[in-house]
Structure 1
């Protein structure tokens, strides 16, 4: 299968505000939210999947849109299921279709938001490890494992975003320092005027 490239945080960052993270499964959809400073991800809920690839939008899409509005999200991060080699898994089509439907509905409602496809490799594995560490088995944790995966997807995005913004800030500061070095100081300008 061909390589699938996820989005990365970048120049078109919407700034401060909550992000919604979504883990699209074939049976359930995990949802997570960040705080307003986009620092930490927390679980929100698990939504039962009711919309298939060829179906009309159903209750699951409606519920996700309600959550986006309720949390006043500025960005939506949907997990892009990739294999370890970077190729797309069979679930890529489901995730992209879900992101497309959310985007279409938000745009039609006059509330477009950036919809990002974020790398979700190993998010489900990490979610199951967290369950086992808490003493729950797969069956006991079925209701929350998708939320944990959504938290993992969103937290990875937030961490990448923070690193990107840090690099951008450092580069801006470096550029400002370089300008100060090459610009004449006020004392130099006074001396020039006196000459």
Structure 2
């Protein structure tokens, strides 16, 4: 089953901060952009507690709180797919978290291609001299940064192309 991510910049809500989310079965990595939606930075790692049929737990409450605290205009959730673009078992987890954030905040929640983001994040941490053991605490945040930065870059390109086509 092919699973398609959203396209950055389409139905763009305009200027403002974005929240990036990397959903795992144990932890959720969170990143945030600057107000100009140019640069993503790590924010925090939230312990995952909410399952499919559970009521919203402390993890969802915290994600909603972060959206409000940073006055987010859009949330970008990583969509885990394999290299062929097929959905993995983790797709259901990501979509469930996205649904709950959308329901609670009313914000646009986009699904972004997250292929290889954890690999890229792990390589960057290793290159920076962070041991794998020490990096476990931050790998989810680093993956969330990769997801959000890729989205921001795609958004910038899309909006620039729209502007050029209007001229």
Q: Answer whether TM exceeds 0.5 for this pair.
A: yes
Shift in Å, 1:130 = 1.2
Of residues 107, 112, 116, the one that matches 1:113 is 107
Match of 1:160 in 2: 154
The 5-angstrom pairing of residues 45-194 of structure 1 reads 45-106=44-105, 112-173=106-167
Q: Any gaps of 5 or more consecutive residues in structure 2?
A: none
The 5-angstrom pairing of residues 1-20 of structure 1 reads 2-20=1-19
What TM-score, normalized to structure 2? 0.98
Match of 1:184 in 2: none
**Bigger radius of gyration:** 1
User: Cα deviations across residues 146-184 of structure 1 (Å, max 9, x unaligned)?
Assistant: 0000000000000000000010000011xxxxxxxxxxx
Shift in Å, 1:132 = 1.1
**Alpha carbons 2:23, 2:29 under 8 Å: kept:** yes
Mapped to 2, the partners of 1:91 and 1:146 lie a distance apart of 14
CA RMSD of aligned residues (A): 0.8
**Alpha carbons 2:9, 2:156 under 8 Å: kept:** no
SS at match of 1:143: coil
Match of 2:42 in 1: 43
Shift in Å, 1:12 = 1.3
Structure showing greater relative contact order (alpha-carbon pairs closer than 8 Å, 6 or more residues apart): 2
SS at match of 2:139: helix
Q: Any gaps of 5 or more consecutive residues in structure 1?
A: 107-111, 174-195
Mapped to 2, the partners of 1:80 and 1:132 lie a distance apart of 24
